[in-house]
A and B are shown apart, each in its own frame.
Chain A
Amino acid sequence: MAETSHLAIPARLEDIRQACDFVVEAAEQAGLGERAVYHCQMAVDEALTNIIEHGFAYSDDSSQIEIACRTEPDRFIVAIADSSPAFNPLLHESPDPSEPLDSREPGGWGIYFIRKLMDEVTYERAGGRNLLTLVKLIATARHAAASGGGEDAPVPVRVLDAQTAVISPAGRLDSNTSIYLEHALDAQLASGRTQLYVDLTAVEYIASNGLKVLIAAWRRARENGGDVVLSGLQPRLVEIFAMVGFDMLFQVFPDLDAALAARQARR
């Protein structure tokens, strides 16, 4: 039941926008979530910008770029074909996100983003054309959108009573993984549990996305008469929390037992 839709645009920067709209619509129809749709849009934008700026080098307004979107049961596929000189973006050396400002080139990030944002990227040269194929897995997106609290939730949740749950994320809480914590917290809040104990003992690193998830849940819990209580922060996290002022907002305990003991004492 693969459905394919096609669009051809002139090789001009100002026509990328309509390709973005086209891909966004197809990605939404494929059932991708808002975040995954954004990723697809950006990957396509970056790919087309590269083709027009470098492939055609602004030289050839009459050239067309063809974009095809196809949905398969587990994946959303965007194929981009152009007749500019052969260029395999996958052989392009990626910039390093840890590069400090002094030595960093402002540009050159397009291909990096395409690879980061999509699940699979392949290139081939055939019939005098470059063919770039971008894949976003739907199963992953659906899973992220639907998960939280379920048996297969990536973030373990232990429900203590009608109001209380312990959530124990692990590893890194960054832009890729924070969504799982978000869904776990949201699922508990949605089922009326507003006293949430987030045990961070196994968390090595938290990026701004993770912080944002915690603050959003904290706000929602407080609005509903509950709280988000943290425990087990590693020294690096203590530092980060102090830096952004979270230590003033959240109740923080050295470990989960201490956090839960404080709850008993309050009763």
Chain B
Amino acid sequence: MVMEISTSDMKRVQLFEVTGRVDSTNAAELGSAMDSSVDDGKTNLVLDLGGVEYMSSAGLREMVRVLKRVKRTGGDLRIANPSERVREVLELAGLDSIFEIFPTQVEAVGSF
């Protein structure tokens, strides 16, 4: 399954719903989708990973890079609904204490 990103412009939050596989062939695409929101001054980002069946470290790299970028301007990148496997990978890299992770999209969006 290829990766798809759907972006929604919400009142205070940019929501990115991702499905499929995130790996070294397409992680940059995910990163640049988030970057273009940041370029527009929207730095409160929610990444809904509910539909992500697989993510390699290339995806994590983009997430950390964008998190560092939005944090510099007072924004945040928060994660919603990672699968058990993706969550395990986040934990292994210590990212569960670096990202705010929410079980649902509603909670993640509402947290801003």
List the interface of chain A (C-beta within 8 A of B): 13-14, 16-17, 35, 38, 41-42, 45-46, 49, 52-53, 95-101, 104, 106-107, 109-110, 112-113, 116-117, 174-175, 207-209, 212
Check A97/B57 contact, CB under 8 A, given A13-B25, A16-B24, A53-B24.
no
Q: Which residue of chain B lies nearest to A15 when distances are taken between CB atoms in the complex?
A: B25
30 pairs from A and B in contact (CB 8 Å cutoff)? A13-B25, A14-B25, A16-B24, A17-B23, A17-B25, A38-B54, A42-B56, A42-B89, A45-B23, A46-B57, A49-B23, A49-B57, A52-B24, A97-B92, A98-B94, A101-B64, A101-B71, A101-B98, A106-B61, A107-B57, A107-B61, A112-B57, A113-B57, A113-B93, A175-B91, A207-B96, A208-B96, A209-B91, A212-B84, A212-B87
Return A61 CB to nearest CB of chain B, in Å.
Answer: 15
For residue B62, which residues in chain A have a CB less than 8 angstroms away from its CB? 106
For residue B85, which residues in chain A have a CB less than 8 angstroms away from its CB? 35, 38
Return A73 CB to nearest CB of chain B, in Å.
Answer: 26
**Separation of A95 and B58 alpha carbons in the complex (Å):** 15
For residue B91, which residues in chain A have a CB less than 8 angstroms away from its CB? 174-175, 207-209
Chain B interface extent, by class: 20 to 34
For residue B94, which residues in chain A have a CB less than 8 angstroms away from its CB? 96-99
Return A108 CB to nearest CB of chain B, in Å.
Answer: 8
Interface core residue of B61, B62, B84, B98 (most chain A CB under 10 Å):
B84
Of B57, B67, B101, which one neighbours A110 at CB under 8 angstroms?
A: B57
- Determine whether the beta carbon of A13 is less than 8 Å from that of B92: no
Return A39 CB to nearest CB of chain B, in Å.
Answer: 9
- Determine whether the beta carbon of A113 is less than 8 Å from that of B54: no
Interface core residue of A41, A42, A110, A174 (most chain B CB under 10 Å):
A42
For residue A175, which residues in chain B have a CB less than 8 angstroms away from its CB? 87-88, 91-92
Q: Does B60 contact A (CB under 8 A)?
A: yes
